[in-house]
Amino acid sequence: MREQDSQHKENPKDYLAIVVFIVVLLLFIASSVYLIQTTKKDSFDNTFKTVSRWISDSWHEGKRLLEGRKDIWSQSKKKREVRKHLRTGHSLYRKKIYHEALGEFDKAIELDPDNYRAYFWRGRVHIKTNRLKEATADFQKVIDLKADYAEAYDNLGWIHLKLEEYDRSINYLSRSLELKPNDGWTHYTRGRCYYKKGNLHKALHDIKTSCSLGYKQGCQAYKEYREKSNGSDSANAKSK
């Protein structure tokens, strides 16, 4: 029994060691929990902020790209619509269905106010329907948008010839010839203006050039004008 009693006898030093161990363990656990909680909180906050910022940036970038793509799609669709109206307008113009052709060119201009071709062909419709004031405005718009579009100057020259405004007609036709000097029609039309002004010498020069470029009406007019100049290309009538 003594031996048994002595085995179960508790030593005070053992209690002290156990208490110290428990206290140290509790302090370690408390410190660890605090450290973990503190670390988690900072890490969570930083991670949350990073993820939030990434999501926000990605959202805005995606939105920007989508809006850009939509704009490209919209512009592409608008261009297709403009081309469609122009093609339809040309077809109606060739068939001399001018009222409907005018509507097609109006729609093209509504979609694309800077489309010089739409203004040009609308001007051509106005000429065919004898609306010269409207035609003049459209061809002037063409020049504003594309200053080197010779055909617009040709049409303005023709309009002012018809209105008997010969000097203005000559100015427009001369500008056209600066852009395309080998155009028989333009030489012929400017020659007619000079003839109307009484300048037979310049008229003959332009008409002869027109004929040499293969414009048949120019050849016919050259014979007529030459007869009036007594068979000489150097006739020198007084200009008005």
Domains in the chain (CATH in brackets) are: 73-129 (1.25.40), 148-240 (1.25.40.10)
Say what the pLDDT of residue 11 is: 53
Say what the pLDDT of residue 6 is: 37
Say what the pLDDT of residue 17 is: 56
Say what the pLDDT of residue 233 is: 61
Whether pTM exceeds 0.75: no
Q: What is the pLDDT along the chain (240 residues), one digit of tens a residue?
A: 333 443 444 455 555 556 555 765 666 566 555 555 555 555 555 555 665 665 666 566 656 665 666 667 677 888 999 999 999 999 999 999 999 999 999 999 999 999 999 999 999 999 999 999 999 999 999 999 999 999 999 999 999 999 999 999 999 999 999 999 999 999 999 999 999 999 999 999 999 999 999 999 999 999 999 988 776 665 544 443
How far is residue 108's CA from residue 152's CA, in Å, rounded to a whole number?
18
Alpha helices in the chain (DSSP H): 2-8, 12-94, 98-111, 116-128, 132-145, 150-162, 166-179, 184-197, 200-212, 216-228
Please, are residues 145 and 116 in contact by the beta-carbon 8 Å criterion? yes
Say what the pLDDT of residue 162 is: 97
Say what the pLDDT of residue 54 is: 57
Quick one: residue 130, left, alpha or beta (phi over 0 = left, psi -120 to 50 = alpha)? left
Say what the pLDDT of residue 13 is: 52
Both tokens assigned to 21: 């161990």
How far is residue 182's CA from residue 3's CA, in Å, rounded to a whole number?
136
